[in-house]
Structure 1
Amino acid sequence: MTAPADATVTWGVLLLGALLVSMGGLTLARSAATASAARRRTRAAAAVRTDLLDRLNRDEPAWDEWVATLDRTERTALEERLLAFFRRLSGGDRERLRALARELDLDERAERALRGGTRTERLRGLTWLAYLDVEVDPEELRARCGDHPTTRAAAARVLHEREHPAAAEVGTDLLLGAGEPLPVLGIDTLYQLHKLDPERLVDYAASRYGAWSESLLIQVLDVLAECDPVPSPVSLDWVADCLDASSPRIREAALRALADYGWRADVRRAANVGVLTRDPAPNVRIAAYRLLGEWEPEIAASRLADGLATDADARARLAAAEALYGAREVREDGRRGAERPAIPAGVEAWAWVVATEGGRS
């Protein structure tokens, strides 16, 4: 009875060994194929880039003849390189690249993706529509891209890149209408739409900010802080109201948004910044000290000096000293630039901070 059992075990071991060898062979073959494909893609990308640059410098690039010679790997490499060039080039070079894009059917493919693709496909199509010479309909973008923050941001970016007359109006509503936090592309697009004239953004936010989440409101305030100031008739009362928000992050963001408005008496009246130098949140006090330094360092010297002497947070004391000194960037030797004369008390304050904080470190 022992012999048949031993034979069974032996055959089982042999079969297991054969299976392991087969699996090892398949793994090696797959690895070799993957490495070969990667080398092929690398060679194709290098060759395509060289040919593309060469043809861009020709009077007649003969895009149609070139495209007809490319295999699938080379076409994929060309599309990736073309998108990179679109982002870097402008003027006549971009127009020549659009002719190449038409030979690759990228315009038609982008429109098909927008109208019937998955979210990933629509995003890819929107990326191309931002650069191709294809008519874009703002209302179609709104209808087909309103289901997700990433597609809304991409659609707004298309309108901005194409310099569409409705870019600011429709783009702002695409980005902010749903009341959801913005992706990175959305934040940058909101800034690009309003950086030179944020009046539309200010008016839009004034009637809606109360319904926004903390994250979205802070994003809008941070964008507003980077934009050029709006003229005096435009009300910023809603930003000043944010100084009373229960969230310290909102209060801090509102202070940053008002930094460039010290010249407006109505803003100075509406924003009781002095109260915020006693805010329980250190980051809010830091922002308040910095804002006072931007607006009125001479008039606010007593408040800043009080913060310097009594604030329990080391970073806040440093911010108060910098604001009192009259500049954000102070040299180690105590000298400063000539853009604003130093307040005598501030020079002494800075020396005190250097000595005190240096001794604590």
Structure 2
Amino acid sequence: MIGLVLAVTAFGYSVPQTVVLVFVALVVGLLLAVQFYLTIGLSVYRSVKQTRRDRVESELRGELLDRLFAEDPDWEAWVSDLSSVERDVVESLLDEHLRELDGTEAETLRGLGDALEIPERAGRRLEAGDEYERLHALTWLTLLRRPGPYLESSFEPRTPRERASVVTLLEQTDRLADEETGIAILLDGIDAQFTVFGQDTLYRVARRDPAPLLRTASEAYQTWPEPLLGQVLAVCAQLETSVRDGELAWIVAVLETGTEATRAAAADALASFGWRGSLRNRAFLERAVNDPSPRVRNAVYGMLASWGDRAALEVLQQALAAETDSGALTAGMTALARRQDHFETDPGVMLGAAWDWSLEHVEYDRLARRAETQKVR
């Protein structure tokens, strides 16, 4: 405020500080009043618009369903007579029903999307919109099974969400050349983690052929941020026996040199690959069970129990006999108890009373699950 008074004085004028304060108060009051009326006006506009939508929605829903099951829905003629508000409502109804229906009904509804010119508008949004509009456009193209506007555009997905949406579109329309292409779109040059939807997309592509994912991860995992690496490892943990071949040395490297979170995720991933003889190296297993983090040891114990072979279970028993963390000990004991049919000698000799408690816990869990299953039947 002093600066303002001095600046005016520099031009030869002397304005009292009180006058300056009154002027500032008037300006602030005027701005607040304008903001208030704009807020009220916007609320009234939205209320009127929603009322108009509610008034026509029931009628339009009935008309849509009648045409859907008619011999000739004649979407073009219907759409040509709709107002702008009615078209918006019909688009919302189309989105809702396409997510619920499949087969012949869904394909018939896609004709309504063509009549509303949604694919054409989606193509324009891909070229000129922001990320939200591009994602909205890709979602519509996927629902309508119309990849053409994307394939004909110059749009290249950049964010993880855009990458996942493009792969889903191509996969759902049978235009994904192969899993190698899908993995390349998802992971090449990526520097941020996926949403849950993106992680699920990565899993669906990798499940069909894990080799491209494992190969890409082997080459690029050291450049990925920790959250993304954790997501890829979580996907690998779900691949299980679908991995007939592929490089796993990078997962072993993460288990031995990664952060606490990624080491635990690597152990979870390796739990599915116990049939790989190259993983059952005694020295490697002993290093793994001696990890300084209880969280990682917990995951390693689960990995060894999941493998279930004699060498792995022997290492697991010895590690649990020396375990000092109560959480890791409990989790490891429980995992081992679920493998009780794999032992030639009773592990209780080495593990003591904790083994008896774990057996009781596992047995109780098994009986509870059986009772629940019988109740459902």
Q: Which among 320, 324, 348 is matched to residue 312 of structure 1?
A: 324
Distance 1:228 1:58, change over 3 A: farther
Any gaps of 5 or more consecutive residues in structure 2? 1-31, 362-377
CA distance in 1, matches of 2:255, 2:121: 49
Q: Residues 89 and 275 of structure 1: is their aligned pair in 2 closer, same or farther, counting only changes over 3 Å?
A: same
Alpha-carbon spacing, 1:122–1:246, altered in 2? closer, same or farther (3 Å): closer
**Is residue 153 from structure 1 mapped to residue 164 from structure 2 by the alignment?**
yes
Q: What corresponds to 1:14 in structure 2?
A: none
Residue pair 1:156, 1:189 contacting (<8 A) in 2 also: yes
Give the structure 1 partner of residue 87 of structure 2: 75
Please state how far the C-alpha of 1:146 moved relative to its aligned partner: 3.2
1:195 is paired with a residue whose SS is helix
- Corresponding residue to 1:278 among 278, 287, 290: 290
CA distance in 1, matches of 2:57, 2:171: 30
1:155 counterpart letter in structure 2: V
1:221 is matched with: 233
CA distance in 1, matches of 2:235, 2:165: 18
Match of 2:252 in 1: 240
Q: What is the TM-score when the length of structure 1 is the normalising length?
A: 0.78
> Which residue matches 2:21?
none
How do 1:175-254 residues align onto structure 2 when only pairs under 5 Å count?
A: 175-184=186-195, 185-254=197-266
| 1:266 and 2:278 matched | yes
TM-aligned CA deviation for residue 308 of structure 1: 3.7
Deviation at 1:104, TM superposition (A): 0.2
Q: Please, which moves more after superposition, 256-265 or 286-295?
A: 256-265
Q: Higher helix proportion, which one?
A: 2
Distance 1:103 1:175, change over 3 A: same
Amino acid at match of 1:169: E
* CA distance in 2 between partners of 1:83 and 1:114 (Å): 19
Q: 1:228 offset after TM fit, Å?
A: 4.3
In the alignment, the residues of structure 1 paired with residue 176 and residue 88 of structure 2 have an alpha-carbon distance, to the nearest angstrom, of 33
Alpha-carbon separation, structure 1, partners of 2:145 and 2:35? 51
Q: Does 1:324 align with 2:340?
A: no
| 1-structure distance, mates of 2:150, 2:219 | 23
Q: How far apart in 2 are the matches of 1:137 and 1:292?
A: 50
Aligned-pair distance for 1:237?
1.6
Preserved contact between residue 240 and residue 273 of structure 2 (Cα < 8 Å): no
Matched-pair identity in %: 34
- Counterpart of 2:99 in 1: which secondary structure? helix
Aligned equivalent of 1:341: 341
Match status 1:291 vs 2:293 = no
Count of residue pairs the alignment pairs up: 324
**Aligned pair 1:351/2:356, yes or no?**
yes
Query: TM-score, with normalisation over the residues of structure 2?
Result: 0.75
Unmatched segments (≥5 aa) in structure 1: 1-19, 328-339, 357-361
Deviates more, 1:208-217 or 1:162-171: 162-171
